[in-house]
Structure 1
Amino acid sequence: MRRHRNLIIMLVMAALVAAAVYYIVPPSEKTHLGLDLQGGLEVVYTARTADGKVPSAAQLDQTIGILDRRVNGLGVTESQIQKQGADQISVALPGVRDAEQALRVIGKTAQLEFFKDDPVSRPVGPVESKQAALRELRRLGASKAEVRQLAAEGTTEHYSLVVRPADETAGLPEQWFVYRRPPAMTGAAIKTARAGFNSRTGKPDVLIDFTPEGSKTFQRITRELYRTGLLKNEPQTFAIVLDNEMASDPYIDYTDPTLRDGISGGAEITGGNMTVQESKDLAFVLNTGALPVKLEPAYQQQVSATLGKDSLRKGLYAGLAGLVLVLAYMLAFYRFLGLVADLALVVYGVLLWGLFNAVPVTLTLPGVAGMILTIGMAADANVVIFERIKEEVRRGRTVRSAVSSGYARGFRAILDANALTILTALVLFFFATAQPKGFALTLILGTLVSMLTAVLFTRALLGVLASFAFFDRPALMGVPAAEIQPEEPAAARRPGLRPQPQPQAAAPAADEPAAAPELRRTPRRTPTGGQKKRRKRR
């Protein structure tokens, strides 16, 4: 039964190694390097509020936090996002392949708003051009300054200029609208957003789930639109606007009695020409939150590696040299056990590299240092267990029983040491920034993988080898025959029991002659009167 379990573990480890190799090959394409090792893209944004003013420090800090979540969602880590001056934010992205897509997602404001389509909420539209919408608003009494600001920025304190792009599939031209602010709802009411497909047209769209409070507000709005449709005998619509662009314009069917109490739960954003990637990007930016400011790219440039390939090459050479020295030491000191440990270290290296690429982890020079450090930790776990095994062999146990006892006694020490290492790395990960955080991440992952290989893989491998006759030779474990003590009796190994000393006759003194054997006659006992009477009766 135990042999079958060990074989299953070996097969699982082989499958993990195969999966790791899949994520590694080719390494030049699947290994992610940081800015210090390969360079990347740097973009500087100028931030402005909705009314065109310089944002506050709190708004910039909030924007940096949202940008950081968006960058991580793109699969880019070890990025550098920082303030420059009072109104600029610098974003440096290592190894970005699609710069246009990254800029489109990162810089998208993602201000989602819901407007009613009644004459009060929409004073202008639809009209055929932007200038026509602005002229109509000016005719309705808006000031020249506000119209000029609306033309430049798209949003003022009182109005929003909205465009609905042309839909060639449906044959609809571009149309412009002016909506009165504030909107009926904002993106703050969104709980989650996910990409999907429209049930009627089959085109990509985005499905929105509201928060409990947002669901109540949306239900109230749709209930009002349903009642208005009953009074006017025509369907009522509302506009879903994303960054001053109409993403959807659904209507409420007043002839459907199930909509009498409104719609609760969620909504759907359908763009006429939305692609699958665009629906995913839109759902992503809605989930990460809307930016409190508008970002306009000031400039962008490709940045070179701050350390370069030479530093990477030296770091990898150092790691390779350390690995070779550890392998040689384990083989020389632990003999056959060292060979098993070397194989476990090779498996450890493959699994760790594959895990880094699968997460993915962006390797910087501190991250490479953390990876090299975990090589020694993986070997240290084997050292603790192997020393326990050698101690048991020296006490006279067989190699098979020594392996089982050594793992049982050494596991607790390994677990305690690695748990403390992980806790320390977690503190560093949560409280550090930039490159020290990368060092902590590689240290955590390396420690977890070393536990897997040192405890699970090596034990299963030794369990499989234990069935062979050559395995039960202490010399293969690095224990000379002179160091092996005879195994104690079972009673002596049980706590609280001691073998009783056997009684021995006292030996005669050396100068005293041995006494000759003496024959003595036992005196005859004279029977008493009572005894004589009993004999006569018999």
Structure 2
Amino acid sequence: MVAPKKGKNASAPSRPGRSLALILIAIVALTGGMFASGHTTPRLGIDLAGGTSITLRAVPEAGQESAINKTNMDTAVDIMERRVNGLGVSEAEVQTQGDRNIIVNIPKGTNSEEARQQVGTTAKLYFRPVVATELSGANATGSPSPSATGNPSDKATDKATDKATDGQDKATDEGGASSTPSDSASASATGQGRAASDALKADPSPSAKPSDGASPSPSGSAAGDAKLQQQYAALDCTKAADRAKAGDGSKPGDSMVACGQNSQGQWQKYVLGPASVDGTDIDKSEAVLNTQTGAGWTVTMKFTDNGGKKFADITGKLAKNQSPQNQFAIVLDNEVVSDPYVSQALTGGSAEISGNFDQEEAQGLANMLSYGALPLTFKEDSVTTVTAALGGEQLKAGLIAGAIGLVLVVLYLLIYYRGLSFIAVTSLLVSAGLTYVIMSLLGPTIGFALNLPAVCGAIVAIGITADSFIVYFERVRDEIREGRTLRPAVERAWPRARRTILVSDFVSFLAAAVLFIVTVGKVQGFAFTLGLTTLLDVVVVFLFTKPLLTLMARRKFFASGHKWSGLDPKSLGAKPPLRRSRRTSRPAGPVDPKEA
């Protein structure tokens, strides 16, 4: 007798050991990575760890009340969110409140102070030519500024070195502060503590500033404005009140006075010409460690097509001037954050600012250049320190509720499924362990932080995971009721249970994905955790629950249908085992047909 061939629908022999070994390897690898990274606990959000909450209010400029609209507010939220994320502040929440307020929540333990300073710096960013500058409230001494350069090269560096000597001699002959080549390579003072050194690919000659304490007079078109001269003479940048008023009321097309702080912490005052390049003309800015030329940390800028043309035009004009009028000031919130100088037109749509930057200074300047141009002006209304006490109490209450729910689920499994509850509880523990390890790893990887809604999502996932076990167990029990033994029942029940589990988890994941996309703030934490645990449910059921039940079905306790196994055929009301009916032999002789 020839055995029938197996068709396509015939199930392949089950190999549960492979699946269990695979998930065991994954657990060990993830756990090892967690301990190796040093992040053995999930990062906590602002409601659990505490932090700072900043309220910013949009302030309309003269005649621009209509500018405060939903589009501009959403744009401002996006820029502020990129600002704080650019500083490495994870789980910072930036969202609108009402028509003109923005709330920024910065968790504790991050660069919250620096983020507060940059988020609060809300005015537009402009590039303005420097007309005159000097130290405020002190005798001015010559010091070179950071250089802006186009394409770095060794040849350009040598040329810059040659020009340095000529520029220094020229500055000395004109009565300015003299400096030696070594001075030019080390000394500097620029905006907001950014030190400057010899220029790469640009004229590094120091600014010729008087050393007798006399204020230089603005020159050019700005010099004809008597009011501007008076403002410049009276400006004392060492006084906070004067700094706050500097540049008030000035428009992009007007000349203005401004203040900036150098690397020694001294305030410097400026006369600046009309804005030549807008912050929106910068497409991208990055802090780069330049190891080829030994320049250290530099800031690269890439302009838009229109911005590149404007930048090439202004640098070409400035390069023809003597120091300090060959400098351009980067002005943010009416304050000079940097004042690099040039010796040639910088074409090609990109440039580089070099100086004695450290990594933090370079990244701070690059962040301002990238995200400095907000469509609205904001005022800081309030700054509140958020403690973790309230969130800790809510977390404690949530964990107690989750523990109660988990205990009830386990009791139900023990009473109803008896021996099968061992498989269910073990699967729940594996799912919980994977969730904890992955959340711990996601903190340093993508900045995920656990907040109260995320904890709620994890608690809801208990029900989703338990539901998958129940679906599979009931399918197996249905097969036993039909009269099949346990091992074939486990294999026959799996295809139908698998479809049901996949459809159920897909619906849950789809709901979590939609919720994550259409919501903001803390609700996204709930949606993210729900989606993550739903995916883990599929992994655990396929790689752990089903293989473990296949192995247990080979044990006598389960295979014999012990009354405490949860698979007792008698208690389930099973039908008698299916049996084939014996064939009846036909008589050898002919049979007379019966008449109808």
TM-score by length of 1: 0.70
Residue 187 (structure 1) aligned with residue 276 (structure 2): no
Q: CA deviation at 1:304?
A: 4.4
Residue 417 (structure 1) aligned with residue 504 (structure 2): yes
Change (3 A) 1:90 1:410: closer
Amino acid paired to 1:315: G
SS in 1 for 2:218: helix
Q: CA deviation at 1:442?
A: 2.8
Amino acid paired to 2:218: E
SS in 2 for 1:269: strand
Q: Cα deviation per residue 1:124-170 (whole Å; 9 max; x = unaligned)?
A: 224343898796379812253797599624362212545565456xx
SS in 1 for 2:224: coil
Q: Cα deviation per residue 1:225-276 (whole Å; 9 max; x = unaligned)?
A: 69x77xx999x9663615242536253569xxxxxxx64253223353x432
Q: CA deviation at 1:295?
A: 4.5
SS in 2 for 1:140: helix
SS in 1 for 2:423: helix
Q: CA deviation at 1:449?
A: 2.3
Change (3 A) 1:371 1:100: same
Q: Distance in 2 between matches of 1:12 and 1:144?
A: 72
Of 416-425 and 469-478, more deviation after overlay is shown by 469-478
Unmatched segments (≥5 aa) in structure 2: 1-13, 139-213, 236-241, 588-596
Residue 196 (structure 1) aligned with residue 288 (structure 2): yes
Q: Distance in 2 between matches of 1:85 and 1:135?
A: 45
Residue 443 (structure 1) aligned with residue 530 (structure 2): yes
Determine what percentage of the aligned residue pairs are the same residue: 28
**Paired residue for 1:270?**
354
**Paired residue for 2:342?**
251
SS in 2 for 1:32: coil
**Paired residue for 2:430?**
347
Q: How many residues align?
A: 471
**Paired residue for 1:141?**
224
**Paired residue for 2:134?**
127
1:241 to 313, 330, 333: 330
Change (3 A) 1:197 1:504: same
Does the Cα contact within 8 Å between 1:134 and 1:147 map onto a contact in 2? no
Change (3 A) 1:15 1:242: farther
1:311 to 382, 389, 394: 394
Q: Distance in 2 between matches of 1:173 and 1:436?
A: 46
Does the Cα contact within 8 Å between 1:390 and 1:477 map onto a contact in 2? no
Unmatched segments (≥5 aa) in structure 1: 116-120, 255-261, 490-498, 506-538
**Paired residue for 1:103?**
116
Residue 478 (structure 1) aligned with residue 566 (structure 2): yes
Of 394-403 and 350-359, more deviation after overlay is shown by 394-403
SS in 1 for 2:302: strand
Q: CA deviation at 1:349?
A: 1.8
2:255 to 159, 168, 177: 159
SS in 1 for 2:567: coil
1:205 to 291, 298, 308: 298
Q: CA deviation at 1:378?
A: 0.9
Q: CA deviation at 1:413?
A: 1.4
Q: CA deviation at 1:11?
A: 1.0
Change (3 A) 1:10 1:397: farther
SS in 2 for 1:182: coil
Q: CA deviation at 1:308?
A: 4.7
Residue 41 (structure 1) aligned with residue 52 (structure 2): yes
Q: CA deviation at 1:319?
A: 0.2
Amino acid paired to 1:333: Y
Change (3 A) 1:4 1:369: closer
Q: Distance in 1 between matches of 2:494 and 2:355?
A: 61
TM-score by length of 2: 0.64
Which has more radius of gyration?
1
Q: CA deviation at 1:465?
A: 6.2
Q: CA deviation at 1:32?
A: 1.1
Q: Cα deviation per residue 1:96-133 (whole Å; 9 max; x = unaligned)?
A: 55542231232234854445xxxxx54x2243438987
Does the Cα contact within 8 Å between 2:217 and 2:229 map onto a contact in 1? no
What is the aligned-residue RMSD (CA, Å)?
4.6
Q: Distance in 1 between matches of 2:565 and 2:295?
A: 67
Does the Cα contact within 8 Å between 1:50 and 1:153 map onto a contact in 2? no
Does the Cα contact within 8 Å between 2:59 and 2:376 map onto a contact in 1? yes
